[in-house]
Structure 1
Amino acid sequence: MSKVKKRVRPTKEQAQELNRRLDAVVEAGHTNNLYCDCELCQALAEQAKLMGYRTYSSIKRPSEKWNRRKQEYERKRQIDFVKVANLAGQGLTYAEISEKMHRSKGYINRIAKEFDIKIFTKKER
Structure 2
Amino acid sequence: MVAKAKRIKPTKEQAQELNRRLDAVVDAGHISNLYCDCEVCQALAEQAELMGYREDSAIKRPSDKWERRKQTYDRIHQIDAVKMANLAGQGLTSAEMSEKMHRSKSYINKLARKFDIKIFTKKRGRKPCH
TM normalised by structure 1 equals 0.77
Q: Structure 1 regions of 5+ residues with no counterpart? A: none
* Counterpart in the other structure of 1:76: 76
What SS does structure 1 have at the residue aligned with 2:24?
Answer: helix
Distance 1:13 1:64 in 2: 39
- Compared CA separation, residues 26 and 116, structure 1 to 2 (3 A): closer
What amino acid is the match of 1:66?
W
Deviation larger for 99-108 or 112-121: 112-121
TM normalised by structure 2 equals 0.75
Q: How does 1:30-49 map to 2 (within 5 A)?
A: 30-49=30-49
Distance 1:98 1:7 in 2: 47
* Counterpart in the other structure of 1:106: 106
What SS does structure 2 have at the residue aligned with 1:100?
Answer: helix
- Compared CA separation, residues 40 and 101, structure 1 to 2 (3 A): same
Distance 2:117 2:12 in 1: 58
Count how many residue pairs are aligned between Structure 1 and Structure 2.
123
What amino acid is the match of 1:67?
E
What percentage of aligned pairs have identical amino acids? 76
Distance 2:96 2:13 in 1: 63
Q: How does 1:1-125 map to 2 (within 5 A)?
A: 2-7=2-7, 9-122=9-122
